[in-house]
Amino acid sequence: MNKNIAVCVILSIVTCGIYGIYWLYTLNEAACQINPAEWNTSGGMVILLSIVTCGIYSIYWNYKMGKAFAVVPGSSDNSLLYIILHFFGLGIVNMCIMQSDVNRAYPV
């Protein structure tokens, strides 16, 4: 669960987004474990729905991740921030913030 954020960003860029899809999957699975009351959709379903809806579902996913990770100690509800960053094409920044929350929830 605990990942180096810089390595994840570099791998996402080098693999032309393929690692980013895997990273999205792992973040989603972490959200299911951290706050199952808020989020329980599988990572594969999130990827499929994002593709089928041409990215519209990813807006909802970003919002719900902000709510799901809000229960992590030291974190806040970032759902509005995630939506704004997503609209400006900065989805990778959202994933970095989410990974930071996961790293905080699962310390080494």
User: Distance between CA 9 and CA 86 in Å, rounded?
Assistant: 16
- Dump pLDDT digits (tens) for 2-42: 899 999 999 999 999 999 999 999 999 999 999 998 889 99
Choose between 53 and 38: higher pLDDT.
53
Distances (CA, A) of 28 to 1, 11, 35, 39: 11, 18, 11, 9
pLDDT reported for residue 106 = 87
pLDDT reported for residue 57 = 96
User: Distance between CA 97 and CA 79 in Å, rounded?
Assistant: 11
CB 46 within 8 A of CB 53: no
User: Residue 88: CB partners within 8 Å, gap ≥ 6?
Assistant: none
| Residue 81 predicted with pLDDT over 80 | yes
| Residue 43 predicted with pLDDT over 80 | yes
The ranges assigned to domains in the chain are 5-105
Quote the tokens at residue 31.
């959200």
User: Distance between CA 52 and CA 47 in Å, rounded?
Assistant: 9
User: Distance between CA 105 and CA 91 in Å, rounded?
Assistant: 21
pTM to 2 decimal places: 0.91
pLDDT reported for residue 89 = 94
